[in-house]
Structure 1
Amino acid sequence: MTISYNWLCEYLPVQPSPEELSVILTAIGLEVESLEQFESIKGSLEGLVIGEVLTVDRHPNADKLQLTTVNTGNGTPLRIVCGAPNVAAGQKVVVAPIGATIYPVTGEPLTMKKAKIRGEESEGMICAEDEIGLGSSHAGIMVLDAALQPGTPARNVFNPVQDWVYEIGLTPNRMDAMSHIGVARDVCAYFNNLENTSGYQVKLPALLELPKADAPLTIAVMVENTTACPRYSGISITGVQTAPSPDWLRNKLLAIGVRPINNIVDITNFILHETGQPLHAFDADAIAKGEVIVKNLPAGTPFVTLDEKERKLDAADLMICDGNGEGMCIAGVFGGLHSGVTEQTRNIFLESACFSPASIRPTSFRHGLRTDAATRFEKGVDISGTLFALQRAAALICELASGRVASPVTDVYPQPKPRTEVRVTWAYIKKLSGKEYGTQKVQHILRSLGFEILETDSEGLRVSVPYSKPDISIPADIVEEIMRIDGLDNIEIPAQVLITPSITARPDREAVREKIAGYLAANGFHEIFTNSITNSKYFPPEVLERTVKMINNLSADLDVMRPSMLETGLESIAYNLNRRNEDLLFFEFGKTYALAGDNKYGETEHLSLYLTGRKRPESWLYQAAPVDFYYLKGYVGNILAQLGIRELQWAEAETAGLQHAWQIKVRGQQLVVLGAVAPEKLKQFDIRQPVWFADINWQAVLAALPKKDNFYSEIPKFPAVRRDLALVLDKKVRFADVEATARAVKSPLLQHINLFDVFESEKLGANKQSYAVSFTFQDIRKTLTDKEIDTVMDKLVKAFETQLQAQIRK
């Protein structure tokens, strides 16, 4: 929110300095993020003076230059070389003497110095309007009123506006401060509390009697949807003349970053930032049948907005229509192309309404129209302020655009809104604020903010909330108002803070996540955060049947909650590959979403790994090798090992979007799916190099964590023994089957199983292969004997022969 210091002070009974006001605003919860000076003319003509040209002679060394002497009121005329064709003796001009700085409309600032131009000394410059920021003309020097006195500061003649502009970081609930009057109301409350008085009141502009038109222009108003539009006010004004706004209005808007357009539009923008009430002006002659109807149109109805784009309306979009039922404006959001004010407009219908936030916000996002009006309506406006803003704007239109009021004020308000009532106890105020406020101080602060005290007792008080604060509805809101006006800095910090140590549930989810994130980051992975809302086009129909769809999606490309982590990660990979970042290791903690029944939804937490490119940069020492399944498998295995998860069960899997996929289970529960991203999925994202993906079900991993910590265990004192076997097996038998069979023997002496060679040959037989497997045995209590090892090996051989039909190569 942008606030002008000069503008704000018009409503204040006192005028603190810009710096003091900045401190006050921050103290009452309107945090000032920046304070910058605004100048209607850059440099504000500082150092420039009015001069009188005494003499003009031809320059001896240049045909297009003149030698002048100029009286600037300091007693000694200045010698100035001038190239303007219109310079003449007796003229009153703007002079930039030595030391003054000018700020041209284009180009860099220039500080005047004594100079020689073609051999003749020059002690300054006689200025054209574009050279000092007063206009764009460079046809010649400015010739001023002959009555001006030499030596008069130029700023006293042109009166450039200087202002200070505050950028306030408003929280979404502070709709009441989205205007200059709203901020002034808070500042007055601050001074009332500071000085324990009620003397500081906002100086509201007076509403004068409006000039009446000779002929009436009646526009009938009908509101069909009173839920979306609880109040609609309007007035007709005839004989308006669209023209540029006066300087005072233009400068007010420019100071807060609003571009002036014409007097009608500028007045509506001025009222918006003065009162917080959005207005809209219609060309009354374009309103068919002289009727304004507030209603919804059928879904798919085309409507052309002011930006000349045709939009398809939703059935929930509230529209301002004419007597033929044709849309003229998307209510509270954006005007239509054919009903707005133009240079030819002579009669207008001025609208001041209150629209429901629940109606405006979805419409604004649905069409991508984030206007000033929409951002105010979606937070709630002061429903009691529509008439004041309407009459204030009508008065300005009559004053600045020669308008005449041609109708009484129309005010459709079928169900007047009751004021919200809130009860809060003294004990709750102390508990939430941490400060003991006096009961009189609390009432004084609330009255200064416009609250009405309905009743008080020994327990607390009940208040009626002003319409200007539609966000206040619960006791905590009342406490916030008291605290910020009294000053958050005035709440003492106690000398002692008593706390009860918290007990963290085991496992500590955050600690586990931080541990794994640290491990991955230390191994070259980069953490990414992708959008949980994604594009439905990525998924086949059978997946979309279980997908959570957005009702009010921000765009056509963001319309579903992601059912899979793969697609949003591939978007990040494609983005990087398109920028020649080709070696990528990404990880992401995120959630997927799915329908879990009627009006029920499920969320699943994931840790996903994405690998593509090379394992290490190209080097003279190492050949560049691409990442592969085993590279991904190693990281997945290490993550599970870091968490103390053992006895992994590997099995092939079929997963959408992956090929050659495997799954890892622990005690029958699937924890991980990993594999290569399928070519058709890569093509969807225009990715031309292999990508490997692992999806770790983080909720299942947390559930599988050991109940006890992994404590240090002493390094065994007794040696381990290795035995090797060469097993001839059918090609369809996987090493995972060999490992599972060996573990099924359940020998406490068997510590490790490792596949160190795979051999295939016709000599082994058709569809046969040989696995060379090592078995490591160890007993932490003693040295193993050959007999003990042979006993276990015999059991293993027998299991392999009977369960896997293995042949033992001798």
Structure 2
Amino acid sequence: MTISYNWLCDYLPEAIDPEKLSKILTSIGLEVESLERYESIRGGLAGLVVGEVLECGQHPNADKLKVTKVNVGAGEPLQIVCGASNVAAGQKVIVATVGTTIYPVNGDPLTMRVAKIRGVESHGMICAEDEIGLGADHAGIIVMPENAVPGSAAADYFKPYADWIYEIGLTPNRMDAMSHYGVARDVCAYLTHHSKETKVKSPLTGPFSADNNSKPVKVTVQNKIDCERYAGVSIAGVTVGESPKWLKDRLVSIGLRSINNIVDITNFILHETGQPLHAFDADMIAGNEIIVKNLPEGTLFVSLDEKERKLSSEDLMICNGKEEGMCIAGVFGGLKSGVTAATKNIFLESAWFHPVSIRKTSVRHELRTDAATRFEKGVDISNTVNVLKRAALLIREIAGGEIASEVVDVYPDPKPKTEVTLKNHYLKKLSGKNYHSDAVKKILTSLGFDIVREGIDEIRVGVPYSKPDISIPADIVEEILRIDGLDNIEIPATITISPSVENLRVKEALRDKIAGYLVGQGFVEILTNSITNSRYFDEAVLETTVKMINNLSEELNVLRPSMVETGLEAISYNLNRRNNNLQFFEFGKTYTSKAVGAYQEDEHLCLYITGSNHEDGWREKSKPQDFYKLKGLTTAVCELCGLNNLRFESAGEQGTVLDVYHEKTWLGKLRAVDAGKLQQFDIRQPVYILDISFASLENAVSSNRITYREVNRFPVMQRDLAMVVNRSTTYESIEQTVKKVKLPKLKDMRLFDVFESEKLGAGKKSMAISFLFSDDEKTLTDKEVDGMIARLVQGFETDLAAEIRK
């Protein structure tokens, strides 16, 4: 929620320092996330003055430059070199004197100093529009009116708007604070409680009367459930045009675009009071009748954005006398009945629409408008007519015309106020603080609550219509705590708690251990959105994908069935910003559906690597990340968790996909992302992904037995063996052969060299492996080790047709 300080002060009896006001807002639950200075013209034209050009002569060393003498209202006239073609003696101009900082439309701020231009000193600058942020024109200098006084501040003529803008982190239940007036009401309640009684200055005051009844409009509400109150008034003879400066400044400062005076007034009222309004071109209302109803399923409607939409039978519509849709109630207007530059007569609508109906319609048509956001949270039904009158008077004041009908107010079943009883002991129990009954009444009445009944130990209040979220005693306690100040909640000297004890926290310990290791290896943890785009997946995958019913965008419409795509989004984002060497890891979840209501959620650990292992340096050149790097990391992560003797089985062509097993337990999949998937994300370098089922990993760790053995006292003996094998032979097949030989004294083996050459023979390669032998009870002899090597050689020759290199 964006709040303007100047605008907010319109409703406060006295202005409060912006920083102090920021603390008050946060204290009452309207957390200020940022407070920033706003200037319609950057720098606010500070230091710029009006000058009078007394003399204007040719520069002695430059044909396109002039040397001027300028009176700036103080001291001797300034000599200023100027390159503008339109500068002339007798003109009133804008001057940036020495020491003044100017803020060009394009470019960095520039502070004036004495400069020599082609040998002639210049004491300042005569300014063009774009040089001081007034506009984009650079055709020549600004020429001021003749009555401009030399030495007077430029800001006095152009009156740049300056403000402080608050960004408030509004919680979803605080519909009452979705306006400047609502925020001001809370601030006044705080001041009343903490200092002196302070009344908010309401904009909804003043006499109202119609000028005539020349443009009456009949209103019929057929759907009284979704539209409990509907009010309207006609205004004839308006002139649609540009809004006055004060109105544009108010809207632009909070990030809104000025459109025309009629639309700007409805936007102004929305952000002033929280009540959405809609203006119709009255001449487009067939039969001079408004009918609030639902249209048949599939009815076509062209909205203001010129899109044709198919209506649902549940969409509430504002129709004309021919029962043709003119507006999707509370959400979006129609093209035919909207206000245009040619509009002369308008019908202004103010209504209360059911929050659930508006929410469903807004989501269904993907129209998340400011009006829909207010209606779906519940607006103040008691202010429907008051706000309408306020807007009508403002339109008459700004756009001219006359109020051409009495206010129509269709409110057949006035809504009773919600009443809530608060007991004193309950207030003490929830707040932890003893409040005097007078303080409680003072807080509640300042917020608009009615005191219905008072008892010895309780109070019954009527809830204001502006607070539709309040229905139970705990809500009243929250209001009292807010206005007293959330930072004033007392902290007791002692707290009694029952600590929870978790006997086994394998999952959390695993996550911490793995994350710490990967960060140490140069990985960065990412957290990607579990809602993703269905276009990433083919029809076979989408058959079991969980689809969003109320997705807010076309790009985010399914729960991810795979971790790959969201990880590639993060990689693509970084590659587009020249972060080419990436190592990411993520703990996340995927979702599948076997049938309606039968959903499955799986947790994953994913590693992503791409680019080079490090940047090039003078000592060492970088190496590209590859499949084997990730395979080694897979082994390291699993061994870190106590899982040794992993098994990798090919699950794709040319070994680009490997299934990872620990004993008989499938842990996950290691893959090189295929070219088609990379192209989908516009990635032009290889990406390798490890996707581990975290549940499988957790189960394997939980069932794994860790045993301790004393460090061997006897020496380890090493033998290296090089063999020529077929080029298709994998290291895994060598490991399988070693296991078949069954050598208990063989403690470890590792591949340290692979060599390929036509000299070895067609389709051949050489693999060199180190074998480590050890006995727990004695020192091995060369003869024993040679015997074990001989058995290995025999196994390699038999199973792999290997040729041992001498």
Post-superposition offset of 1:205 = 3.6
Post-superposition offset of 1:643 = 0.9
Q: In the TM superposition, what are the counterparts of 1:523-534 in structure 2 within 5 Å? A: 523-534=521-532
Please give the TM-score of this superposition, normalised by the length of structure 1: 0.78
Q: In the TM superposition, what are the counterparts of 1:453-492 in structure 2 within 5 Å? A: 453-454=451-452, 461-492=459-490
Distance 1:115 1:573, change over 3 A: closer
Distance 2:753 2:259 in 1: 80
Post-superposition offset of 1:485 = 0.9
What per-residue deviation string (whole Å, max 9, x for no partner) do you get for residues 678-724 of structure 1? 44434444545443322100122122224799697642223457899
2:333 counterpart letter in structure 1: G
- In structure 2, the residue matched to 1:167 is 166
Distance 1:643 1:455, change over 3 A: farther
1:220 counterpart letter in structure 2: V
The question of whether the paired residues in 2 share the 8 Å contact of 1:102 and 1:132 is answered with no
- Counterpart of 2:696 (choices 693, 700, 703) is 700
The question of whether the paired residues in 2 share the 8 Å contact of 1:86 and 1:141 is answered with no
- Counterpart of 2:273 (choices 268, 272, 275) is 275
Q: Secondary structure of the residue that 1:169 maps to in structure 2?
A: strand
Post-superposition offset of 1:635 = 0.9
Q: Secondary structure of the residue that 2:262 maps to in structure 1?
A: helix
Q: Secondary structure of the residue that 1:167 maps to in structure 2?
A: strand
Q: In the TM superposition, what are the counterparts of 1:38-187 in structure 2 within 5 Å? A: 140-144=143-147, 160=159, 164-173=163-172, 174-187=174-187
Distance 2:672 2:621 in 1: 22
2:166 counterpart letter in structure 1: E
Name the count of aligned residue pairs: 781
The answer to whether the aligner puts 1:353 opposite 2:351 as a matched pair is: yes
Q: In the TM superposition, what are the counterparts of 1:206-605 in structure 2 within 5 Å? A: 206-224=205-223, 226-296=224-294, 303-310=301-308, 317-361=315-359, 363-364=361-362, 369-413=367-411, 416-454=414-452, 461-495=459-493, 502-577=500-575, 581-605=579-603
Q: Secondary structure of the residue that 2:778 maps to in structure 1?
A: coil
The answer to whether the aligner puts 1:670 opposite 2:666 as a matched pair is: yes
The answer to whether the aligner puts 1:3 opposite 2:18 as a matched pair is: no
Q: Secondary structure of the residue that 2:169 maps to in structure 1?
A: coil
**Structure 1 stretch 300-309 or stretch 260-269: which is displaced more?**
300-309
Distance 1:16 1:585 in 2: 50
Distance 1:372 1:493, change over 3 A: same
Distance 1:210 1:528, change over 3 A: same
Q: Secondary structure of the residue that 1:24 maps to in structure 2?
A: helix
Distance 1:727 1:313, change over 3 A: farther
Q: Secondary structure of the residue that 1:277 maps to in structure 2?
A: coil
Distance 1:443 1:599, change over 3 A: farther
- In structure 1, the residue matched to 2:760 is none
Please give the TM-score of this superposition, normalised by the length of structure 2: 0.78
Distance 1:406 1:540 in 2: 60
Post-superposition offset of 1:547 = 0.6
Distance 1:303 1:117 in 2: 65
1:540 counterpart letter in structure 2: D
Distance 2:358 2:671 in 1: 46
- In structure 2, the residue matched to 1:31 is 31
What per-residue deviation string (whole Å, max 9, x for no partner) do you get for residues 137-186 of structure 1? 978541449xxxx8997799869486643314132332212222112211
What per-residue deviation string (whole Å, max 9, x for no partner) do you get for residues 272-315 of structure 1? 12211111101011123333344455676654443445556566
Distance 2:99 2:110 in 1: 8
Post-superposition offset of 1:546 = 1.0
**Structure 1 stretch 111-120 or stretch 408-417: which is displaced more?**
111-120
The question of whether the paired residues in 2 share the 8 Å contact of 1:549 and 1:561 is answered with yes
Distance 1:417 1:220 in 2: 20
2:555 counterpart letter in structure 1: D
1:30 counterpart letter in structure 2: L
The question of whether the paired residues in 1 share the 8 Å contact of 2:213 and 2:406 is answered with no
2:27 counterpart letter in structure 1: A
The question of whether the paired residues in 2 share the 8 Å contact of 1:753 and 1:776 is answered with yes
Distance 1:604 1:457, change over 3 A: farther
The question of whether the paired residues in 1 share the 8 Å contact of 2:210 and 2:404 is answered with no
Distance 1:805 1:105, change over 3 A: closer
The question of whether the paired residues in 2 share the 8 Å contact of 1:659 and 1:676 is answered with no
Distance 2:766 2:121 in 1: 102
What per-residue deviation string (whole Å, max 9, x for no partner) do you get for residues 48-72 of structure 1? 9999x9xx998798999999999x7
**Structure 1 stretch 275-284 or stretch 404-413: which is displaced more?**
404-413
- In structure 1, the residue matched to 2:12 is 12
**Structure 1 stretch 286-295 or stretch 551-560: which is displaced more?**
286-295
Distance 1:737 1:139, change over 3 A: closer
Post-superposition offset of 1:391 = 1.4
- In structure 2, the residue matched to 1:763 is none
Distance 2:282 2:162 in 1: 37
Post-superposition offset of 1:444 = 2.5
Q: Secondary structure of the residue that 1:705 maps to in structure 2?
A: helix
The question of whether the paired residues in 2 share the 8 Å contact of 1:234 and 1:411 is answered with yes
Post-superposition offset of 1:377 = 2.7
Distance 1:753 1:66, change over 3 A: closer
Distance 1:746 1:403, change over 3 A: farther
The question of whether the paired residues in 2 share the 8 Å contact of 1:126 and 1:141 is answered with no
- Counterpart of 1:691 (choices 679, 682, 687) is 687
- In structure 1, the residue matched to 2:191 is 191
- 5+ residue gaps in structure 1? 761-766
Q: Taking every aligned residue pair, what percent have the same amino acid on both sides? A: 52
**Structure 1 stretch 558-567 or stretch 331-340: which is displaced more?**
331-340
- Counterpart of 1:661 (choices 657, 662, 678) is 657
1:783 counterpart letter in structure 2: K
The question of whether the paired residues in 2 share the 8 Å contact of 1:39 and 1:162 is answered with yes
1:585 counterpart letter in structure 2: Q
**Structure 1 stretch 420-429 or stretch 399-408: which is displaced more?**
420-429
Distance 1:78 1:689 in 2: 66
- In structure 1, the residue matched to 2:778 is 783
- In structure 1, the residue matched to 2:608 is 610
Distance 1:3 1:565, change over 3 A: closer
Distance 1:731 1:617, change over 3 A: closer
The question of whether the paired residues in 2 share the 8 Å contact of 1:13 and 1:203 is answered with no
Distance 1:317 1:536 in 2: 27
Q: Secondary structure of the residue that 1:609 maps to in structure 2?
A: strand
- 5+ residue gaps in structure 2? 60-64, 757-762
Post-superposition offset of 1:469 = 1.7
The question of whether the paired residues in 2 share the 8 Å contact of 1:175 and 1:380 is answered with yes
Post-superposition offset of 1:431 = 4.6
The question of whether the paired residues in 1 share the 8 Å contact of 2:208 and 2:389 is answered with no
Distance 1:720 1:603, change over 3 A: same
Q: Secondary structure of the residue that 2:405 maps to in structure 1?
A: coil
The question of whether the paired residues in 1 share the 8 Å contact of 2:193 and 2:442 is answered with yes
- In structure 2, the residue matched to 1:717 is 713
- In structure 1, the residue matched to 2:759 is none
Distance 2:126 2:800 in 1: 105
Post-superposition offset of 1:46 = 7.7
